[in-house]
Chain A
Amino acid sequence: MLVPSPLIPMPVLPLTSEQSPLVLLDLLFKLKVRDVMTTDLVTARRADTLRYVQALMKTHRITGVPVVENGRLFGIVSMDDIMTALDRGHIDDPVERHMTTTVVVLEEDMPLSFGASYFDKYRFGRFPVLNKDNSVVGILTSRDISASLLLELYKEYHKLEAQVQPPAPVGAPRTSLQVRVKQNDLENAGKGAHEIKRALAARRVDPAHIRRASIAAYEMEINLVLHSSGGTLRTTIDNESVEIVARDRGPGIADVQLALQDGFSTANDWIRSLGFGAGMGLGNIRRVADEFSLDSKAGGGTTVRAVIRLPPPVPEEAPHAGG
């Protein structure tokens, strides 16, 4: 049966329409059927029974089995053929008496766009693939196409990402990062600091200054998680400095001068069991920062601001001569 059923309005693989993204269409033309097809074939011989083919389908979880001998394709048995055989009581007959012999095939060097169009054109679930000598070398299913396209798109995505984000934007414009930090969410504490570290490394800031900014940000994040009811960590990076501001919604610090003394802490046992609460955090932020300020009052919010001034970026290494 080669006529498409009018009862199925949706295309099986809606990949060749004008709405498909260009990158997908490009991949469909670039890839060949042989790049995508399954080569680990499950086949039957003409003398095998339909019951044997039914068992093959069950074991390998497939819905169609080509009938092949010495590489030559004689026909194909589909799930429909098996259901008909069960219905009419000829499931123990040899395959050759009931297989579909008018088989639509693909050639291995056809573009994948051609292969994809067959799924909509013929409504079959699979197409055997032949080489130039007309030997069966594989089978193509819509699943093969989807899986390959996903894989190729993933590769393309990484290529594009590399193009969009050059690794060393020396003299790059201002970068702003903002993360929300939740109370007691220790699992995510430090992610913001890690992002700042990455952003500074991408700008080729020297390791000592990256370390100072990362420590300040991390201490602020930990403070937000363990001592506040939640807040935000906002970072602004330009060529001269990194400014990190932690702002929370409370409960505020009753005695700011006391809080700044190393060793003073209001941490409870839970916080201490996590390795924090030694009363070093605020002092450590002040130590690594070139500018530091703390604004707080009991019952209100707290704002901690630290600025680390940056030296000129490390110049880009000259490319190696030759290859």
Chain B
Amino acid sequence: MKRLSRYRRHKFAGPAVLLAALFTIGTTFSIATALPSQQRMEVSAQTTMVEEGKQIFARGCSSCHGLNAEGGAIAPSLIGVGAASVDFQVGTGRMPMADMSQQAMRKKPVYNEQETAALAAYVASLAPGPASVTNASLTWERDGNVAQGGELFRTNCAMCHNFAAQGGALSNGKYAPTLMDAQPKQIYEAMITGPQSMPKFSNNTITPAEKLSIIKWIKAAQNEPSLGGASLGRVGPVTEGLLVWTLGLGLLIGVAVWLAAKAR
């Protein structure tokens, strides 16, 4: 206190206080103004994406899903399905549908990644839902356990998708698709959103860590080498029976005809 009172009357005291005050006010002001401006920029970018998504939606989706994604006679409401669902359906080319068949099939995506993200942002802006994921954010290679994934797959997925993830038939022309082309994020999103006939696997049913294991197993199945020769489609004994009657017995009967003909 003594020091303060000693310099209070110093000739540089006034300018120093002024400088300090100006610096404080300036810094405070700059911080105070800088923060909201960055936020505003983010919000505005988000708004642009939602706007862009809304436009794409109006052009490509609204004829079936309704102008405000409220659904219609032939298509469900998309309010609350979340970005994950959009990313999966549009990213795998299933939406927009090519025709009104039993179920949307995987095809070449109609929209590019940016458009898909915009659509996802728009649908996510309608009501909260599961957020989309990226391939990079899924650490299945590091955290997944392939054997545990196999067990989980056989318990939860193989009944529809077949033991080697080759796909299988469901009732009335519906089917569980082959997973041979599925990307990690699509597998993850399918599990959390339950597209078409597929049930949802919430984080209580299959934890995120277990989901990574399943992804790791599916990726292993995609790269499974053909041990023991031609895989014959990995659909079980039907193709084996077909091969034995055509190639197997065909060859043997051919030889028998040859042997019997040689005698004459």
The finding on whether chains A and B are genuine partners in a shared complex, rather than unrelated, reads no
State the A residues within 8 Å of B (CB): none
State the B residues within 8 Å of A (CB): none
